[in-house]
A and B are shown apart, each in its own frame.
Chain A
């Protein structure tokens, strides 16, 4: 492995890394928003919405992100909607992630005893208040491992963004290999940057898990 090449590649990968992180995190944030809304509709069995969410989850969980991106990137312009590749990536990731988040949160919600909801209702809470203040925080703590797994999965899925010509990490590595044939160096940088991106998520995830569990279940 050539150190000089690695040094040359560093800024290029750093740029790609920032773009990947930016789109990845925005997509994850969107996924959480969709997940919370979807889980709310499913938990309270809101008419119509609950059914729509169910279809949405099945549709997006059971199709590859690549196909979804193609639909958004090439399909929307046909319908007269023009969006940038970045927005397209965020939207694709958010919609895919939303389906996973909905299901992960829902399993957590189902694990919270129903009488907690009743207890909140009897204190006068509305359904959204009950959900946000009482049930969701408890469900969250139950769902943390699944949610962290989703975040890692979604950040890794950014590797298909090259298909819609976003200069993410994967695109950059493939590009550099094609141009200069420095395969080893390129792949090495690729692995390093993916680890830099994902390791903190794993670590923060397990801290979040421990903290939320300690609060509710404790050890003393």
Chain B
């Protein structure tokens, strides 16, 4: 087993409110982990703790390398063009050569079908395009682990697919990914492993087939039922 991320007894509290309660989790290289659960269960907070955006009250998060994160609201830098958005961190943080970064940015944009947009500002892009740029911006830093925080939740339905396709493509390249999503069909398709989180604890940690077809806990069954509709006619 080639562990790339290890979380041991992670506890996160906001004052008296415990958001994550004694979470332990190990992720192997190349694994795609999908985290699902009801709103407020701590999914996003878990990603933020892994990424170092939150201080933790107890436990340990160890990562073999860097993480890259993609947010629900894209968070491209609005005062910069697409290319400038992509190049800023590699050049300033990683001190890489501009030419080399520019070349890679061009290749990555090509792969997500946005070559024509490299000199546009974020405001000139659709939500789906912005999110694809945000994914490229995370990728170009060569992170060991990619974190996706409900990346399609703010998108119009017709743009969801183009973003999910990019992530599916990454899975084929054996990227290690932690994905928080409410797209259950996508979760099932992409996941090597599903984590069901509720009330800040891991309720299930299993294969997608097991989770979606025969969830062990009543709570997971109840959660999955919220995505189903009875035929009313």
For chain A residues 101-128, which have a beta carbon within 8 Å of chain B?
113, 115-116, 118-125
Q: Are A123 and B141 in contact (CB under 8 A)?
A: yes
CA distance A141 to B78 in the complex (A): 11
Q: Are B77 and A116 in contact (CB under 8 A)?
A: yes
Q: Is B217 an interface residue (CB 8 A)?
A: no
Q: Are A125 and B93 in contact (CB under 8 A)?
A: yes
Q: Are A220 and B79 in contact (CB under 8 A)?
A: no
Q: Are B89 and A115 in contact (CB under 8 A)?
A: no
In the assembled complex, how far is the CB of residue A47 from the closest CB belonging to chain B, in whole angstroms?
16
Known A-B contacts A124-B94, A124-B141, A133-B88; the reply to A118 vs B78 at CB < 8 A is no
Sorting the interface of chain B by its residue count into under 10, 10 to 19, 20 to 34 or 35 or more gives 20 to 34
Sorting the interface of chain A by its residue count into under 10, 10 to 19, 20 to 34 or 35 or more gives 20 to 34
Known A-B contacts A124-B66, A124-B89, A133-B92; the reply to A116 vs B75 at CB < 8 A is yes
CA distance A192 to B52 in the complex (A): 58
Name the prevailing secondary structure of the B interface residues. loop
Q: Are A119 and B124 in contact (CB under 8 A)?
A: no
Q: Are A125 and B73 in contact (CB under 8 A)?
A: no
In the complex, what residues of A have CB within 8 A of residue B137's CB?
Answer: 123
In the complex, what residues of A have CB within 8 A of residue B121's CB?
Answer: 215-216, 218
Given A123, A129, A216, A220, which contacts B78 in the complex, CB threshold below 8 Å?
Answer: A216
4 residue pairs, one from A and one from B, having the closest CB atoms: A119-B75, A123-B89, A124-B93, A122-B69
Other than the known A138-B78, A141-B79, what 5 A-B pairs have Cβ atoms closer than 8 Å? A119-B75, A121-B52, A124-B93, A124-B94, A134-B88
Q: List 24 A-B contacts (CB under 8 A).
A: A113-B75, A115-B73, A116-B75, A118-B75, A119-B69, A119-B71, A121-B52, A121-B53, A122-B69, A123-B68, A123-B93, A124-B66, A124-B89, A124-B93, A125-B89, A125-B92, A125-B93, A138-B77, A215-B78, A215-B79, A216-B78, A216-B121, A216-B123, A217-B123
Give me the interface of B with A, judged by CB distance under 8 Å.
51-53, 66-69, 71, 73, 75, 77-79, 88-89, 92-94, 121, 123-124, 137-138, 141
